[in-house]
Chains A and B, each alone.
Chain A
Amino acid sequence: MQQGGGSGKEVTWEDQQNINKFGRLNNRLHELEDEIKFAKESNDNLEDASNELILTDEEVVRFQIGEVFAHVPRDEVETRIEQMKEVTSKNLEKLEEEKGSVVAQMAELKKILYGKFGNSINLEED
């Protein structure tokens, strides 16, 4: 991803630290993207589950806890799913927020590093 300053430009410890930071943020960005994808998926699944729950006539549904399916009355499942939805959507919000800040910080670092090294540094994904 990185190429050291080529023609004449000296790389200082400060530059190196900026490059390190950029690399770290880039890694975090990828992790966040995965986590966001995962959180969205579980959010959708919970959404599907609560929709199905509205349609079903059964009074007692099987609700997976750990490895077993417990027989749980429908309204209790409903509240549980609502709670779970709340937790995941809050989590998703937090992740999106962090992603925003990571992207902003990366843009800032890009400005600094491209400003100094111009074409001798490449900060883009292949």
Chain B
Amino acid sequence: MASLSSTAAETTTERRGIPGAQFVEDVERYLTQSGLDVNSSLSFLQERLQQYKLVEMKLLAQQRDLQAKIPDIEKCLDVVAILQAKKGTGEPLIADFEVSEGIYSQARIENACSVCLWLGANVMLEYSCEEGTALLQKNLDNAKASLEVLVADLQFLRDQVTITQVTIARVYNWDVHQKRRMREAVTAEKDS
């Protein structure tokens, strides 16, 4: 593949371990330089395409996770904000909360100065409201930043998929074309 760089446009870089697809300017030159016949080149490209699709699925799953996580964190921030707002007023926050699926009980929260955040791995830590907000905000910013990177990765990946698909179609078409020309040449010979 590396020897083909002369026919490839110069933008075939890679991004976070995803190899860039190579754009083929001239199918015939590409085939001779890679030393592949049409079928093996097609199967190589198809294989590449499958690999891209696999990575795409992985990235999409990650994207879904993050997209679910962001509103969750926002909800937590909302609650902490409410607690904080109630703190100075002296009136308690009365809330119905779910004890078990479909069963609600009432809680009276007076002057809550702290919140407990579930950190995962069976650990819960008590924070002051300010610290809790800061931590949640940091988590939210991180999640948003990773989502952004992920979306850019996906875009890059989809470009590579498109390039590969176009290349497959062109190699295939070139082959069809080539065969037709050969047939025409044979019939022309017979006629003469």
Contacts and interface: CB of A to CB of B under 8 A. Distances in A.
Interface residues of A, number: 24
Nearest to B9: A13
Contact of A19 (B11, B78, B162): B162
A24 B75 contact: no
Contact of A4 (B11, B25, B76, B170): B170
Interface of B is mostly: helix
A29 B59 CA distance: 19
A11 B94 contact: no
B137 interface: no
Given A12-B25, A13-B9, A13-B25, A20 B163 contact: yes
Contact of B93 (A7, A13, A70): A70
A12 B75 CA distance: 49
A19 B160 CA distance: 11
A71 interface: yes
A6 B171 CA distance: 10
A68 B97 contact: yes
25 contacts: A3-B169, A4-B166, A4-B167, A4-B169, A5-B173, A7-B177, A10-B26, A11-B166, A13-B23, A16-B163, A20-B162, A20-B163, A23-B158, A62-B96, A65-B95, A66-B78, A67-B79, A68-B95, A68-B107, A69-B96, A70-B82, A70-B95, A70-B96, A71-B93, A71-B94
Interface of A: 2-7, 10-13, 16, 19-20, 23-24, 27, 62, 65-71
Given A13-B23, A68-B96, 13 more contacts: A2-B166, A6-B173, A10-B25, A11-B166, A16-B162, A23-B158, A65-B82, A65-B95, A66-B79, A67-B97, A68-B107, A70-B96, A71-B95
